[in-house]
């Protein structure tokens, strides 16, 4: 057994979160390592039984009565309150429903409308230039809809481009390509300094690290639930509206579910008080209740403990890669500093697509982002240190194999 294998064994033995691994369905196969939880979280073992009960009993037997008797109607707010402590929010500020994209649109347009309540001349939206493409598409559409100019900027440069014309700013908390963690407190304060509202996309941080929405005065935030929150493919996203802004929140997508009298069927729209005004249409109950069951794995876990293990896992992975990988074959593009790192490691690598395909074929599942980035996501609730060591060792073998093929003229 190598020195790093022994170190992994000791780290796993001392890991207080190791017991959580039993609460997830493990990937089949000896030595299988799942490092793609930043795309789709693993399945908690409690979910299938809960969904069977929802389908067979609540839908199959109770039918329409389940909206009240089984709590379907209140699920968006109830589950929102369950997510709230994971992102540093008090109850009553998060509603679950719709996709991340829809919630980004709601939040961004509402932010512009709120800014114009006190200054109608605000006509600029600043967007993270490194953002996930969909956020950029939606920001562009929101700008057209509100008559604003869209101004892309790298997050570190944003404070210098903000001004009295800025209505809203849209940031990603963690860069989806590189895993860089942006400075939420500083950037939020910078936006507030010029009187703008800030919207944070938490897709790659919710469930992976402390966010502190309330503590840092964030105005609006959205996030998906199928990554580190393990809600399942297509599980509904969430929308956070700070409590003191809820009466001002003017959604561009009003629906009967967000009406003050949803069953009144009135022709005029009156928004519901509080977080429910972020709802739109009928909740996607099957996905939502699968998410609720998945969140049970957090009952005895703190985000701080998850963050501590995340940093230990990513540090150890980098140590193993540096020890095993052929020199000069990969370059880490994720910041080394803990304060700037999310819960993933991104490695730049020639032929990255082929390398990842071979890794997956050998049971180490990460993903690939064009043109040359290998992404490895570390979900501390079910990833262990032995997994990390094996992933780095297999990566090194694949890199050596590809290099040999290229040298021999048989590779791509």
CA distance 37 to 121: 43
Contacts of 350 (CB under 8 A, 6+ apart): 329, 372
Nearest 5°: phi and psi at 406?
Answer: -65, -45
196 closest CA partner among 222, 165, 171: 165
Task: Yes or no: say if 356 and 367 are a contact pair by the CB < 8 Å rule.
Answer: yes
**The two three-digit tokens of residue 205, written as one number:** 């941080």
Q: Which domains does the chain have, with CATH numbers?
A: 3-30+302-408 (3.90.1150.10), 49-298 (3.40.640.10)
For residue 76, the SS3 value is: helix
DSSP 8-state symbol, 118: H
Task: Yes or no: say if 180 and 341 are a contact pair by the CB < 8 Å rule.
Answer: yes
pLDDT of 410 over the 80 cut: no
| pLDDT (tens digit per residue) in 61-119 | 999 999 999 999 999 999 999 999 999 999 999 999 999 999 999 999 999 999 999 99
**What pLDDT was estimated at residue 301?**
97
- Quote the mean pLDDT of the chain: 96
| pLDDT (tens digit per residue) in 219-273 | 999 999 999 999 999 999 999 999 999 999 999 999 999 999 999 999 999 999 9
pLDDT of 139 over the 70 cut: yes
The overall longest dimension of the chain from CA atoms, in Å, is: 74
CA distance 28 to 322: 28
CA distance 181 to 61: 47
Q: Which helix (H) or strand (E) holds 223?
A: strand 220-223
**The two three-digit tokens of residue 309, written as one number:** 């293990």
Nearest 5°: phi and psi at 365?
Answer: -100, 110
Residues found in the chain: 412
As a whole number of Å, the CA-based R_g of the chain is 23
**What pLDDT was estimated at residue 31?**
77
Q: Mind telling me the catalytic residues?
A: 132, 201, 226-227, 375
Question: Is the bond preceding 149 in cis, omega lying within 30 degrees of 0?
Answer: no
| The pTM of the whole model exceeds 0.85 | yes
**What pLDDT was estimated at residue 29?**
65
**What pLDDT was estimated at residue 30?**
67
Percentage of the chain surpassing pLDDT 90? 96
CA distance 312 to 317: 9
pLDDT of 341 over the 70 cut: yes
What is the average pLDDT across 181-191? 98
**What pLDDT was estimated at residue 411?**
56
What is the average pLDDT across 178-207? 98
**The two three-digit tokens of residue 25, written as one number:** 């369905």
């Amino acid at each position: 057994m190598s020195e790093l294998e022994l170190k992994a064994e000791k780290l796993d033995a001392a890991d207080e979160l190791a017991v959580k691994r039993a609460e997830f369905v493990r990937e089949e196969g000896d030595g299988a390592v799942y490092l793609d939880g930043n795309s789709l979280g693993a399945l908690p073992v409690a979910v299938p039984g809960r969904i069977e009960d929802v389908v067979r009993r609540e839908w199959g037997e109770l039918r329409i009565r389940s909206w009240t008797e089984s709590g379907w109607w209140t699920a968006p707010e109830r589950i929102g309150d369950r997510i709230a402590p994971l992102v540093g929010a008090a109850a009553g500020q998060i509603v679950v429903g719709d996709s991340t994209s829809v919630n980004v649109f709601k939040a961004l347009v509402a932010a512009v409308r709120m800014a114009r309540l006190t200054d109608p001349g605000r006509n600029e939206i600043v967007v993270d230039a490194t953002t996930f493409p969909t956020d950029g598409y939606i920001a562009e559409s929101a700008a057209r809809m509100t008559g604003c100019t869209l101004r892309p900027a790298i997050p570190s440069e944003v404070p210098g481009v903000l001004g009295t014309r800025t209505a809203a700013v849209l940031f990603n908390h963690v860069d989806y390509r590189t895993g860089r963690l942006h400075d939420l407190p500083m950037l939020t304060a910078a936006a507030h300094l010029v009187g703008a509202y800030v919207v944070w996309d938490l897709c790659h941080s919710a469930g992976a690290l402390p966010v502190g929405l309330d503590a840092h005065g964030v105005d609006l935030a959205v996030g998906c639930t199928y990554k580190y929150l393990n809600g399942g493919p297509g599980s509904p996203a969430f929308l956070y509206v700070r409590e003191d802004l809820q009466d001002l929140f003017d959604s561009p997508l009003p629906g009967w579910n967000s009406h003050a009298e949803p069953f009144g069927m009135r022709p005029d729209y009156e928004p519901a008080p509080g977080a429910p005004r972020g709802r739109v249409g009928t909740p996607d109950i099957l996905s939502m209740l699968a998410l609720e069951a998945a969140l049970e794995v957090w009952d005895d876990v703190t985000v701080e403990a998850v963050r501590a293990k995340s940093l230990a896992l990513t540090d150890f992975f980098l140590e193993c890669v540096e020890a095993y990988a052929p020199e000069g074959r990969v370059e880490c593009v994720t910041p080394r500093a803990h304060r700037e790192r999310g819960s993933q490691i991104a490695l730049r690598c020639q032929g990255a697509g082929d390398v990842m395909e071979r890794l997956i074929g050998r049971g180490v599942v990460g993903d690939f982002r064009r043109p040359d980035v290998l992404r490895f996501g570390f979900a501390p609730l079910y990833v262990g240190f032995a997994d990390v060591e094996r992933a780095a060792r297999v990566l090194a073998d694949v890199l050596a194999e590809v290099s040999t093929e290229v040298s021999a003229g048989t590779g791509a």
